[in-house]
A and B are shown apart, each in its own frame.
Chain A
Amino acid sequence: MAIAETVDDAEQSAGSDLFRQRIRSAWLFLTPMLVVLAIVAGWPLLRSIYFSFTNASLTNISAAEWVGFENYLSITTLKSGRVIYDGLLVDPLWWKSVWNTVRFSVVSVISETIIGMMVALVLNAEFRGRGIVRAAILVPWAIPTIVSAKMWAWMLNDQFGIINDILLNLGLISQKIAWTANPDTAMLAVLMVDIWKTTPFMALLILAGLQMIPGDIYEAAKIDGVHPVKVFFRVTLPLVRPALMVAIIFRMLDALRIFDLIYVLTANNAQTKTMSVFARENLFDFDKFAYGSAASTMLFLILTVITVVYIIVGKVNFEGGR
Chain B
Amino acid sequence: MLWHVIKRVAFYLLVIGIVFISIFPFYYAIITSFKSGTALFEINYWPRSFSLANYTQVLTTGSFPRNLANSLLIASVVVAISLVLAVTASFALSRVRFAGRSLLLFTILAVSMFPQIAVLSGLFELVRFFGIFNTPFALIFSYMIFTLPFTVWILTTFMRDLPIEIEEAAIVDGASPWVIITKVFLPLMWPALVTTGLLAFIAAWNEFLFALTFTSSNNTRTVPVAIALLSGATQYEIPWGNIMAASVIVTVPLVVLVLIFQRKIISGLTAGGVKG
Q: Which residues of A contact B125 (CB under 8 A)?
A: 44, 47, 51, 61
**B49 proximal to A (CB < 8 A):** no
A41 to B126, CA, bound (A): 11
Residues of A within 8 A of B171 (CB): 7, 10, 18
With A30-B93, A144-B205 given, is the CB distance from A48 to B122 under 8 Å? yes
Does A96 reach chain B (CB closer than 8 Å)? Answer: no
Contact, CB under 8 Å: A243 / B274: yes
Query: CB distance B91 to A296 under 8 Å?
Result: no
Q: Mark A282-300, 1 if CB is under 8 A from B, else 0.
A: 0110000100110011011
Q: From known contacts A129-B15, A144-B224, A284-B213, infer whether A139 and B255 are also in contact, taking CB-CB under 8 Å.
A: yes
Query: Do A257 and B117 form a contact, CB below 8 Å, given A7-B168, A37-B148?
Result: yes
Pick from A154, A155, A204, A264: contact of B266, CB under 8 Å: A204
Whether A133 lies near B15 (C-beta < 8 A) is yes
CB of B55 closer than 8 Å to a CB of A? no
The segment from A73-81, A83-91, A145-153, A183-191 that touches chain B is A145-153
B6 at the interface (CB under 8 A from A): no
Q: Which residues of B from 209 to 246 have beta carbons under 8 Å from A?
A: 209, 212-213, 223-225, 227-228, 240, 243-244
Interface size on A, residues (CB 8 A): 105
Q: Is the interface of A mostly helix, strand, loop or mixed?
A: helix
Chain B residues, CB < 8 A from A263: 208, 212, 228
Q: Which residues of A contact B111 (CB under 8 A)?
A: 37, 41
The answer, yes or no, to whether A223 is at the interface (CB within 8 Å) is no
Closest CB in chain A relative to B148 CB, distance in Å: 6
Are A259 and B117 interface neighbours, CB within 8 A? yes
> CB within 8 A of A154: which of B19, B212, B243, B251?
B243
* Residues in A neighbouring B40, C-beta threshold 8 A: 160
- Which of B62-70, B96-104, B188-196 forms contacts with chain A? B96-104
Q: How far is the CA of A18 from the CA of B224 in the complex (A)?
A: 50
CA distance A226 to B266 in the complex (A): 32
In the complex, the answer to whether B25 meets A134 with C-beta atoms within 8 Å is no
Q: How many residues of B contact A (CB 8 A)?
A: 96
A213 an interface residue at 8 Å Cβ cutoff? no
Beyond A36-B144, A143-B254, A257-B115, is A119–B269 a contact (Cβ under 8 Å)? no
- The answer to whether A29 and B15 have CB atoms under 8 Å apart is no
- The yes or no answer to B259 lying at the interface (CB within 8 A) is yes
Residue on B with the closest CB to A118?
A: B14
Which of B11, B98, B144, B273 is close to A246, meaning CB atoms less than 8 Å apart?
Answer: B273
A296/B120 in contact, CB under 8 A: yes
B258 at the interface (CB under 8 A from A): yes
Q: Say yes or no for B265: interface residue by CB 8 A criterion.
A: yes
Asked if residues A247 and B273 are in contact (CB atoms below 8 Å), the reply is yes
Given A143-B255, A209-B274, does the pair A33, B224 have CB atoms closer than 8 Å? no
Q: Which of A205, A259, A283 contacts B274 (CB 8 A)?
A: A205
Closest to B29 in A: A151
Residues of chain A lying within 8 A (CB to CB) of residue B41? 159-160
Q: Are B85 and A26 interface neighbours, CB within 8 A?
A: no
Mark contacts of A33-67 with chain B using CB atoms, 8 A cut-off: 1 yes-contact digit, 0 otherwise.
11011011101111110110000100001000000
Residues of A within 8 A of B202 (CB): 142
Judge whether A69 is part of the interface by a CB distance below 8 angstroms: no
State whether B244 touches A151 (Cβ < 8 A): yes
Q: A37-B148, A41-B114, A122-B15 are in contact. Are A143 and B119 (CB under 8 A)?
A: no
| A319 engages B275 (CB within 8 Å) | yes
Residue of A nearest to B227 (CB): A146
Which residue of B has the minimal Cβ distance to A260?
B208
Tell me if A109 counts as interface (CB < 8 A to partner B).
no
| B178 sits at the interface (CB 8 A) | yes
Considering the chains assembled together, what is the distance between the CA atoms of A51 and B259 in angstroms? 45
Chain B residues 98 to 130 lying within 8 A of chain A, measured CB to CB, are 98, 104, 108-109, 111, 113-126, 128
Name the B residues within 8 Å of A140 (CB-CB).
22, 25-26
Compute how far the CA of A133 lies from the CA of B116 in the bound complex, rounded to whole angstroms. 33
Instruction: Decide if A264 touches B228 in the complex (CB within 8 Å).
Output: yes
CB pair B250 A147 closer than 8 Å: yes
Of A27, A61, A299, the residue contacting B115 (CB under 8 A) is A299
Tell me whether B177 and A25 are in contact (CB under 8 A). yes
Interchain CB contact under 8 A, B96 and A136 = no
Do residues B274 and A36 form an inter-chain contact, with CB atoms below 8 A?
no
Decide yes or no: A144 and B254 within 8 Å by CB, A25-B177, A26-B177, A40-B141 being known contacts. Answer: yes
- Not counting A140-B22, A300-B115, a sample of 5 additional A-B residue pairs whose C-beta atoms are within 8 angstroms of each other reads A48-B119, A142-B257, A154-B29, A243-B274, A296-B120
Q: List 14 A-B contacts (CB under 8 A).
A: A4-B168, A11-B97, A22-B96, A25-B96, A33-B88, A37-B144, A127-B11, A145-B224, A147-B227, A151-B29, A160-B240, A205-B269, A279-B117, A283-B121
User: Which 5 residue pairs of A and B lie closest in terms of their CB atoms, listed nearest first?
Assistant: A44-B122, A47-B122, A257-B115, A26-B92, A208-B270
Could you tell me which A residues sit within 8 Å of B by CB distance? Answer: 3-4, 6-7, 10-11, 18, 21-23, 25-27, 29-30, 32-34, 36-37, 39-41, 43-48, 50-51, 56, 61, 118-119, 122, 125, 127, 129, 132-152, 154-155, 157, 159-162, 165, 196, 200-201, 204-205, 208-209, 243, 246-247, 250, 253, 256-257, 259-260, 263-264, 275-276, 279-280, 283-284, 289, 292-293, 296-297, 299-300, 303, 307, 318-320, 322
